[in-house]
Amino acid sequence: MNNSGFVLVLSGPSGVGKDTVISELLKKDEKIIVSVSMTTRKPRPGEVDGVNYYFVSQEEFEEKIQNGEMLEYARYGSNYYGTPKAPVYDWVSKGMTVILEIEVQGATKIKKQQPDVCTMFLMPPSFHALRTRLEGRSTETPEEIAQRLEIARGEINMATDYDYIIVNDRLENAVENILELIYRHRRHLREGTPETEEELERK
Ligand code: 5GP
């Protein structure tokens, strides 16, 4: 049997609900796992080192880059964010679906290096909904919210570069849609079955 492990990149603007979607996916399928990123930003209240992120200094982060330990990394706002390489390769080789919850620059880099990763963009139902959510969670200052909304505009413009766009209008729908795509991709890797509508037509 072929290995059906793969990397699933999930991007979407800050506040779109990526964390909630991912925690639902983790509950529904034990072969899904999420990569823990490294960041130089400060932990938010309730965030735990090694669970939400590995929180490191800028010097430590730059050292990891130098040593080739990062699968990808990017600057977002005034901080570095990146994916440690070793655990991702390990989980994929064990047949797991490894979710990387990363922003668009990192996603673009990975897709270029490894075209077989599956990329999904989680889209808010409207820009207004995004603003309301960011303001409602009170984890950022008004300046940070403004900066995140500014970044979000650029990110939304990049959505068409992704393999799939998922609208997060209702949580259950978004989760079901993503799960269906994950199952299809696993079948494709295991059995070589067609995956996209285009491929289906060509067969
Ligand atoms: P936050 O500060 O809200 O936790 O994350 C800010 C942004 O950084 C989000 O868009 C998130 O997807 C992205 N991000 C988190 N981890 C990584 C990573 O390892 N690599 C990249 N490129 N982006 C990341």
- Report, as an integer, the average pLDDT of 191-203: 70
Contact 118, 6 (CB under 8 A): yes
Confidence of residue 59 (pLDDT cuts 50, 70, 90): very high
Arithmetic mean of pLDDT over the chain: 93
Edge-to-edge order in the sheet of strand 32-34? 32-34, 97-101, 6-11, 118-123, 164-167
The answer to whether 107 and 16 are in contact (CB under 8 A) is no
Cα 42 to middle of ligand 1, angstroms: 13
- The pTM score is 0.91
Residue 3: pLDDT band (50, 70, 90) is confident
Here the tokens at position 165 are 């766009």
Q: Which residues form ligand 1's pocket by a CB distance below 6 Å?
A: 14, 37, 41, 72-74, 76, 81-83, 101-103, 106
**Atom 9 in ligand 1: which residue has the minimum CA distance?**
103
Bridge partner list, 98: 7, 33
Distances (CA, A) of 46 to 22, 42, 52, 93, 200: 18, 12, 9, 32, 46
Determine the average pLDDT of the residues in 72-92: 95
* DSSP assignment string, 92-145: HHTT-EEEEE--HHHHHHHHHH-TTSEEEEEE-S-HHHHHHHHHHH--S-HHHH
Lookup: tokens for 107:
């996603």
With cut-offs at 50, 70 and 90, classify the pLDDT of residue 169: very high
N- to C-terminal Cα separation, the chain: 22
- For residue 48, give every residue at least 6 positions away whose Cβ sits within 8 Å of its Cβ, in sequence order, or none: none
pLDDT at 25 over 90: yes
Residue 28 has pLDDT above 70, yes or no: yes
Which residue has a Cα nearest atom 24 of ligand 1?
102
Predicted local confidence at residue 197, as pLDDT: 66
Does residue 176 have a pLDDT over 90? yes
pLDDT for 1 beyond 60? no
Distances (CA, A) of 191 to 3, 9, 48, 67, 203: 10, 22, 39, 37, 14
Alpha carbon of 199 to ligand 1 centroid (Å)? 32
151 class by beta-carbon count within 10 Å (0-12 exposed, 13-18 middle, 19+ buried) = middle
User: Quick check: 11 pLDDT over 90?
Assistant: yes
Q: What is the reported pLDDT for 180?
A: 96
Element (H, E) at 9: strand 6-11
Report CA Rg, the chain: 17
